[in-house]
Amino acid sequence: MQRVAAQACGVRHYRVRRRYRWRPRGWVIATAAGLALLVAAATFGAAVGGNRARADDGTALGHQGTVTEVVVERGDTLWSIASRYAKPGEDIRDKVHEIMKANGLKDAQLRAGMVLVIPKGKP
């Protein structure tokens, strides 16, 4: 604390300057602003960064040469794509599960324009 003396008519008055003290409302506002900034940055990063790391040749990292990329067209389903790329005699359900796992999908919802990685399977 600092004391500042003011003198008027021979009488000394002391005024005490205090540092700002965070009040509970101030903490709430600061925390909310910080969280909003963090959510905005995460949303921006997810939108711009995409969801898969790619190598220079366009294949997913970790799968060089063992995947095919497919752009989802309007009306495509995961089942139709899996049946297109399944080997003869392979169970379509297994291929659907492989595609979902390779792309980090939680459900079978697809949007037109999505790029799916189709694993070619075991050599």
Rounded average pLDDT over 44-70? 61
Angle between helices 92-103 and 78-85 (to 10 degrees): 110
SS3 34: helix
Q: Cβ distance 70 to 115 under 8 Å?
A: yes
**What class is the 67-119 domain?**
alpha beta
Q: Cβ distance 61 to 53 under 8 Å?
A: yes
- Alpha-carbon distance 76 to 6, whole Å? 81
pLDDT of residue 5: 53
pLDDT of residue 56: 44
* pTM assigned to the model: 0.46
pLDDT of residue 44: 80
Domain assignments of the chain as residue spans, ordered by start: 2-47, 67-119
List of E strands, the chain? 2-8, 11-17, 67-71, 115-119
